[in-house]
Structure 1
Amino acid sequence: MYLKKALWSEGFTAKPAAESSPDDKSASATSSTVGELVNSLNRQRLYREITFSLRTGLRDASAEFSFLRVRGLRSLLKSLRSIAESDSTIQLFCQIQSLPELQVVPVLFQQSLKESEDDPVVNLDHIFGVEPLKIASPSTDAEVALALRVLEGCCLLHRESTALAHRHKAIPVLMNILSIRGVLEQGACLDALISVMLDSSANQTDFDVCNGIEEVALLIRDKQIDENLRLKCGEFLLVLIGHVNGRGRPPLATIHEDIRRLLGEKSASLIWAASQFGSTLDPEQRLTALHIQARRVLESLDLY
C-alpha cells in the first residue's frame, strides 16, 4: 500500500496572507471551505485505502495454505510501514482497529502463530457428513518471522493491540517460539516481546511468570548459538531495563536482581549503566549506541 496525495487535491492550496487582498474576504472564506472539503475527502480516501489494504491482507493471512498466508503477511507489513509515515494515518489505523473484522492481532494468533497440536482429536464427521475436511498447512519459519514483525508493528502503532495480544496469551506463545524455533524467528520474537510488553503490566506479569529473563539469559550465555542472536538478546535486555528502570514496583520489580544472579555482577552493572544511554540522542544515534552497548555486554560475558 502506497499512501500518495490525491492528484485532484493539488490545485486546492490556500493563498499566502501576503497575496490576499483586504477586500477579498468572501473569496478567502470560500477558499477555506473548499480546503476543509478537500481535507475531509482526503481523509475519507485514506480511510478507504487503509481499510481495503487491511481487508485484503487479512483475507490472505487467514488462508489454509502457508504461501497465501505469507503473501498476506507481507502485504500487512508493507501497509504498516506506509501507515507509520504520518500521524494522520496512524490515527486512522487505530480507529479502524476498533472494528473486530479488521483487527490484525487476533488473526496472527489464530493462524500463523497458532501452536500446533501434538495429539489432534480424530474426527470422522467429514467422512459421514457433507462438510469437507479442512487441512491447514503448518507455519513455515519465514511465515512465523513475518507474523512476529506484523505483531511488533501493530503493538507499536496501536496501544490497544497489546491488550488484544494478552487475550490470546501472547507471552507464552512467544516464549515457546523463543525456545524451540530457529535464529530467524528468535530474533523477530525478541523484538515482538519488547513491543508487546511496552506499557502493558499484564504482559509484563506474564513474562515474569514464564521466567522470561532466565530464557533470554540462557541464550545470551550460550556461546554455541549465532552471535547475532546473542547481540539481539543483549539489545533486548538493555531496552527492557531502560523501560522498567526506576519503577521499582511489580511487574518486573526484581529484574535487576535476576540479571545479577543470572549474568553476574559485572555484566549486570554494565547493562544497568548502559541502559541509561541516549535519552537526548536522535533515533539513528540511539540505535547505533544500542548496538555498541550490546556488544560490550557480550564481551563482558565472554571474559568468564
Structure 2
Amino acid sequence: MNLKEPLWSKQTDSDGSQPPSSSSTRDPESDGAPSAATSAVEELIKSLNQQRIYREVTLALRTGLRDARAEFSFLRVRGLRFLLKSLRSIAQSDTSVYLFSLTQSIPELQVVPVLFEHSLKETVDDRVQSLDHIFSVEPMNIKSPSTDAEVALALRVLEGCCLLHPESTSLAQQHKAIPVLMNVLSTRGVLEQGACLDALISIMLDSSTNQTEFEACNGIEEVAELIRDKQVDETLRLKCGEFLLLLIGHVNGRDRSPMATIHEDVRRLLGEKSASLIWAASQFGSTLDPDQRLTALHIQARRVLESLDLY
C-alpha cells in the first residue's frame, strides 16, 4: 500500500494569483467571508483526505488478512508480505498510524489474532484418528504447516503492529504470546530467532503483564544461553546482546517493574564484568538520532560479546 496525494489537495489555479479587486478600498466585513470560505474548504479537503487514507488502510488490511488466513503456507506468506509492506507505508504518516489504530478495534481487521491463529500456531499431531472422513462426502480439512519464512514474516508483522498500536500488546497477551515466542526462540532457526527477539521487545514495551510472563518463562536464561554458546551463529549472538541492552535500558526502565531482579539475573548468568558493561551501555543514545542510536547499539552489543568469559 502506497499512500498517494489526493487530486483535490493540489492548487487548481495555474499561477496561484488572486483576482483583481474592483475597488481600491476593502470592506473589513467582506474580507471575512473569503477567509471563512477558505477555512471551510480546507476542512473539507482534510476530511476527504482522511476518508481516503482510511479506505486505503482498511483495503490493505482486508487484502493481506484474506491471504494470511489461507490454508496453504505460500498464500499466507503472500498475505504477510503485503501486510508488512502496508505497515511500513502506514508508519510514514501520523494520520495513517492513527487510522490504523482505529481499525484494530474492529475484530475482522485485527492483525494480531490472525498471526497467532494461523502462522504462529504450534503444529499439532496430524495422525488420523478416524477413517470416518473416507466414507463421507465432506472433504478432510488439511492445513499446511508454517514454513520458516512464514514464521519470520509473522514475527515482523507482530513487531510492527505492537510498535504502531501499543494496545496490540494486550491482544498478543490474550494469545499467550510470550510462551509462543519463547518456543520459537528455543526450537526454530536463526532467521526466526532474530525476528523473535525483536518481536519480544515490542510486545513487552509498556506491558507489565508480558514482562511478568517473560520472567516466568525464564526468558533471560534462554537469551543468556544463546549468547554464551560459541556454536551459535555470531549474528544471532549479537542480536541477543542488542536484546539485553534494549531490555534493560528501555523496556525495564522503572524501579518497580515486574523484572526487578533482571540485573542480578544477568550478573549471575553472564558474570560481573559483562553485567556492568550491559548496564552502562544500556543508557546510551537518548540524544542521538535514530541512525546514530542504531549504530551505537551495534557497537555496544559487539563489546558485550567480547566481554564474555566463555572458558
TM-score range, shorter chain: over 0.9
Of residues 232, 238, 260, the one that matches 1:225 is 232
- Aligned-residue offset at 1:93: 0.2
What is the aligned partner in structure 2 of residue 30 from structure 1?
37
- Structure 2 CA distance for aligned equivalents of residues 192 and 120 of structure 1: 32
- Structure 2 CA distance for aligned equivalents of residues 284 and 7 of structure 1: 34
Q: How does 1:62-211 map to 2 (within 5 A)?
A: 62-118=69-125, 122-211=129-218
Encode CA deviations 1:126-146: one digit per residue, 9 max, x unaligned.
334443211111111111000
Q: How does 1:239-258 map to 2 (within 5 A)?
A: 239-245=246-252, 247-258=254-265
What is the aligned partner in structure 2 of residue 7 from structure 1?
7
- Structure 2 CA distance for aligned equivalents of residues 154 and 4 of structure 1: 22
Of residues 280, 285, 293, the one that matches 2:300 is 293
- Aligned-residue offset at 1:125: 4.7
Distance 1:251 1:125, change over 3 A: farther
- Contact 2:119-2:150 at 8 Å conserved across structures: yes
Of residues 50, 59, 72, the one that matches 2:66 is 59
Distance 1:119 1:205, change over 3 A: farther
- Contact 2:204-2:251 at 8 Å conserved across structures: no
- Contact 2:65-2:111 at 8 Å conserved across structures: yes
Encode CA deviations 1:183-234: one digit per residue, 9 max, x unaligned.
0000000000000100111111110010000000000001011100000000
- Aligned AA (1:254): T
Structure 2: stretches of 5+ with no match in the other structure: none
- Structure 2 CA distance for aligned equivalents of residues 215 and 12 of structure 1: 61
- Aligned-residue offset at 1:26: 1.3
- Structure 1 CA distance for aligned equivalents of residues 9 and 257 of structure 2: 51
- Aligned-residue offset at 1:249: 2.2
**Quick check: 129-138 or 259-268, which moved more?**
129-138
Encode CA deviations 1:142-200: one digit per residue, 9 max, x unaligned.
11000000000000000110000000000000000000100000000000000010011
- Structure 2 CA distance for aligned equivalents of residues 6 and 185 of structure 1: 39
Identity percentage over the alignment? Answer: 77
- Structure 2 CA distance for aligned equivalents of residues 164 and 213 of structure 1: 23
Distance 1:28 1:250, change over 3 A: closer
SS of the residue corresponding to residue 308 of structure 2 reads helix
- Aligned AA (2:4): K
- Structure 2 CA distance for aligned equivalents of residues 193 and 49 of structure 1: 29
- Structure 2 CA distance for aligned equivalents of residues 179 and 303 of structure 1: 20
- Aligned AA (1:301): L
- Aligned AA (1:268): A
Aligned pair count?
Answer: 302
- Structure 1 CA distance for aligned equivalents of residues 93 and 253 of structure 2: 32
- Contact 2:252-2:259 at 8 Å conserved across structures: no
- Aligned-residue offset at 1:8: 2.6
- Structure 2 CA distance for aligned equivalents of residues 276 and 213 of structure 1: 19
Q: CA-atom RMSD, angstroms? A: 2.1
- Structure 1 CA distance for aligned equivalents of residues 285 and 164 of structure 2: 22
- Aligned-residue offset at 1:78: 0.5
- Structure 2 CA distance for aligned equivalents of residues 183 and 153 of structure 1: 20
SS of the residue corresponding to residue 153 of structure 1 reads helix
- Structure 2 CA distance for aligned equivalents of residues 289 and 108 of structure 1: 32
- Structure 1 CA distance for aligned equivalents of residues 279 and 147 of structure 2: 37
Q: TM-score, normalised by structure 2?
A: 0.92
- Structure 2 CA distance for aligned equivalents of residues 246 and 93 of structure 1: 28
SS of the residue corresponding to residue 111 of structure 1 reads helix
- Aligned-residue offset at 1:250: 4.2
**Quick check: 121-130 or 243-252, which moved more?**
121-130
Q: TM-score, normalised by structure 1?
A: 0.94
